[in-house]
Structure 1
Amino acid sequence: MTGRFMTRRTATATAATSLTGAALAACALPGAGGRANVAAQPTVGPATVTFTHWWAPPAAFGVAMDQALQSWAAKGSPVKVDSQVINANDSFTKYTNMLAGGTPPDLAMIQPFYFAPLHARGGWVDVSALARRDEREVKLGDFYPEPLVRVTRDGKLHGLPTDINVTVLLYNKNLLDSGGAKVPDDSLTWDGLLDAARALTRGEGADRQWGMVAPTDWEPVVWANGGEVLNKEENLCLLDQPAAYEAVQWLADLRHRHRVAPLQADLQAQDAQTQFLAGKIALLPWQSGVLGTFKGHNPSFAWGVALPPKGRRVRSGYLRGGNLGIMNGSRQVEAAWQVMKHLNTPEVHALWANPGTLMPPRKSVAESGAFLQPPPPLDLRKTVDAIAAARTPHFIPEYVEMTDIVNKTLAPAWNTGAPAAREACQEAKRQVDQLLAPRRK
């Protein structure tokens, strides 16, 4: 990249999230010697498990959920499932109120950033012992370790991941060819991406063709530049450090200095995904979760998926995805566990992949034809490869409040170009440090 971003020689140590060790502990749940089924499964009598989620038809993953629940019913189990569709955007408030009122669902789907705040409120049942008991069925070793970070606290497993959503780079091959740009490969850097975006940006007004989009997921760009959002103890903000604020400035410069990425106003009529599908954006750093939508639209141009660009020293991206957990207060823990196990079998994860178009967290499914067999010529292998470069953000109990602070303080720099990123990041640090002060006591 031009300027100091991605070219700084002073190294900033990358702080691993405090959950990494916990994820490894979760993977080791079977115990010494790999023994499993340490206790016999109890017989479950007739019961009804309330299950709240937002995977509903006609969305592809909603069709997959219907098929998964139908396959459970076909087993003839005495456990019935009361499937209740809720609004994902309201889930945190809804679950918080239900916990407080003593009426939580038995089994709940939850976004990764809400898992820790609900855990802090005593929201999740520890299923570590159940997973050890049923290891031959659960097979935690078949899960990618990274998604297990999301559902592990203090070495204890509190749920299972449903899918993986990682940072990838989508590209319009037709626009690249017409602009003389190469198809992105594994050597691409953020500097190289900017150079390509300059060459691919052309036209004015309604005919404007954008070289790229400024990533809405900004933290991986900070990480790739050697910066961090929080320290290792997750009680101090580090956005005031050069490696962090230079990355934020680089993102702002994409819009305001280089003019290779649309402003917020340019996305009002059509968002970035819609403009990409319309052939108006050449390079789209985004989340892999959109692949199903894009495949469903069957774009009229050749397109593909690449790894996110490399930073100053590393390649980095987000790792997200949904989770399932049994909520504290459930009177049907064993029954809910049986349903949750079913929704995490390889057979059901194959449904998440097809027709669900999501990347399953089980390696045996994600690396099989169930997920990797897309309509030609699209190759989804790079989506799986991107897992190795992905990191889970700082999903601490204060995550929601922290991101609200950071987004509000950095928004002017991104949207208008002022104030400078350094000043905005210093203010973000001041407010986040105040929020996290109790964690330093």
Structure 2
Amino acid sequence: MRHPPRGARGTARSAVSRRTLLGISLLPALAAACGASEDLDALPKSGESSGQIVYTTWGTPQQREVENWTLLAFEKNYPDLKVNVIASATAAEHVAKQISMLSSGAPPDVVRLPTWSAFTFYNEDVVKRLDPYFKRDAFKTDHLAQPFDTGTFQRRWYGLPRGHAGTWVVFYNRRLLEGAGLKPPATGWTWDDFLKAAQQLTRASGSTGASGSGAAQWGTALEPIADFYYPWLWGHGAEDLERSFERSLLDQPAAREALQWLADLRHKHKVAPPAGELPEGPAAFASGRVGLWFGPADAELDLAKQAGLDFGIAPQPKGKQTQQAAFKPDAVCLASGAQYPDDGWELMQFLVDVDTQRLEFDNGLWLPQAKAIVGQETYQKPAVPPYDRRPGIPGALIKARTPVMAPRGDEIRAVSLRELAPLWRGTKNVEAATEAAAKSVNAILTGQA
């Protein structure tokens, strides 16, 4: 039996959002993401007929093709249900489209949300609380990656982690390390170990290093670290944001020290190339010119396609205070406006099922998160790169957590990256950059921006 949506709830919401989701400035700024010629009225609508589920997601054409296989498997297992997919190319376009659909009164049934945006949707109650479904159906979380920070808000469940459940790790080029006389990093390696290895791996242009060319060889790359600096802050005893969402902590001494250490990799120690010298993303590591590359464990799936690239992965290095890895799974949620939420809930459960995770891993979409898979020796110790996946499994070797997630988190992240960019370029000192970042973040937290 399919049930109509429950009535509105009267719980107190976070003060960080003084404007409703449908009124935030993100909508006009990203309205073009839906395409000037796109007609929202022409998109599938939830509740038009029983058994029709509208699911919204994003990704490259290759990723969408793989996910479509998953949805076809769902329809095969549930022949009375059909999934209509609304897809976007990027996460930013996807979020803008969700806001447009909500503002037009045509929400999807099931929505996949990027981590940084999810908490705005949770805070505004535009996605359903899942706790009643958990209780009714005795839903277990054994096949989800802990901690469950990305799916919970104010101690309530709003989403199920789906995709990108591996931690950020340090990929190392085994051939470059051997050429420099270095051993693979140990589990308990430190920031000092990271720096020393990067220094030994760095070769000036014109010299022939283990990369086999006269091009410069670099110990590491700064861009991926600058894009996801959170575990480096934690290692130094710092945070970027108070858990109460009251203020930014980027301008505090511990955070400044950690960020300065990272900037020094390029400007003082010269072990990271200038901006623009290497390709973006995993392609920088695949070029064979970077010895140590910081990135999400899921990058393994792309790097494994590179012929002749022999690599391993190491955990987040230990800082002055601690050694803690970071991860940020996306979330799949049930829209509050879903006409047939039970059908949507069936899809959500299928999307995080152990067999679905195994299927999507085999098809190269995402690394799995279920203990039944990641706890197996055959998964942890493959015979091909990276040879040992444990550094990328949350909690397998070191503790893992997500960054502090807040409503309007995508805006907070955007202004933080914008204001810190001059630090990485070397055009602002750490005091000026972090002061500007904290000021911009605080304006969002207090509702002044």
Q: In structure 2, the residue corresponding to 1:141 is in which secondary structure? A: coil
Q: Deviations 1:107-144 (Å, cap 9, x if unpaired)? A: 11111111011223332011211111212xx3213323
2:111–2:332 Cα contact (<8 Å) kept? yes
| Alignment-derived partner of residue 211 in structure 2 | none
SS at match of 2:111: strand
Q: Answer yes or no: is 1:310 the counterpart of 2:318.
A: yes
TM-score, structure 2 length as denominator? 0.81
**Gap change, CA 1:370 and 1:321, over 3 Å in 2:** farther
Residue 227 of structure 1: aligned partner? 238
- 1:69-88 superposed matches below 5 A: 69-87=71-89, 88=91
Alignment partners' CA distance in 2, 1:286 and 1:78: 41
| Other-structure match for 2:411 | 401
Residues 165 and 382 of structure 1, relative CA distance in 2, 3 Å threshold: closer
Q: After superposition, give the CA deviation of every residue in 1:346-386 in whole Å (9 maximum; x if it has no partner).
A: 11111122123522232222223684464525221221155
Hey, what's the Cα distance between the residues in 1 that align with 2:296 and 2:78?
Answer: 38
What is the aligned-residue identity percentage?
27
Which residue identity lines up with residue 256 of structure 1 in the other structure?
H
Q: 1:209 aligns with which of 192, 214, 217?
A: 217
Q: 1:99 to 1:375 in 2, by over 3 A?
A: farther
Amino acid at match of 2:422: P
SS in 1 for 2:142: helix
What CA RMSD, in Å, does the superposition of the two structures yield over aligned residues? 2.3
Amino acid at match of 2:153: R
Rounded to whole Å, the distance in 1 between the matches of 2:57 and 2:422 is 35
Answering whether residue 151 of structure 2 is matched by residue 151 of structure 1, we say yes
Q: Distance in 2 between matches of 1:301 and 1:287?
A: 17
Task: Give distance in 2, aligned partners of 1:162 and 1:220.
Answer: 21
Q: 1:168 to 1:265 in 2, by over 3 A?
A: same
Partner of 1:117: 120
| Superposition deviation, residue 183 in structure 1 | 0.9
Residues 46 and 78, structure 1, Cα contact 8 Å, conserved in 2: no
Letter of the structure 2 residue corresponding to residue 392 of structure 1: T
More helix by share: 1
Instruction: Quote the residue 1:179 is aligned against.
Output: 180
> 1: CA distance between counterparts of 2:177 and 2:231?
24
Amino acid aligned to 1:398: R
Who is 1:392 aligned against? 402
User: 2:388 maps to which residue?
Assistant: 379
Matched, 1:255 2:266: yes
CA drift at 1:235: 0.7
Task: State the partner residue of 1:142.
Answer: 143
Q: Which residue identity does 1:154 align to in structure 2?
A: Q
- How many angstroms apart in 2 are the aligned matches of 1:223 and 1:403? 17
Counting only pairs closer than 5 Å after superposition, residues 84-103 of structure 1 correspond to structure 2 as 84-87=86-89, 88-103=91-106
CA contact (8 A) 1:124 1:326 kept: yes
Q: Deviations over 1:72-104 (max 9, x none)?
A: 222243121112322233111111111111111
Partners of 1:79 and 1:126 in 2: how far apart? Answer: 23
Q: SS at 2:327's partner residue?
A: strand
How far off its partner does 1:438 sit?
A: 4.8
Deviates more, 1:427-436 or 1:324-333: 427-436
Aligned residues: 387
> Aligned pair 1:345/2:353, yes or no?
yes
User: What are the ranges of 5 or more consecutive residues in structure 1 without an aligned counterpart?
Assistant: 1-17, 19-44
What SS does structure 2 have at the residue aligned with 1:58? helix
Counterpart AA for 1:151 = G
In the alignment, the residues of structure 1 paired with residue 51 and residue 365 of structure 2 have an alpha-carbon distance, to the nearest angstrom, of: 32
Q: Which residue of 2 aligns with 1:50?
A: 54
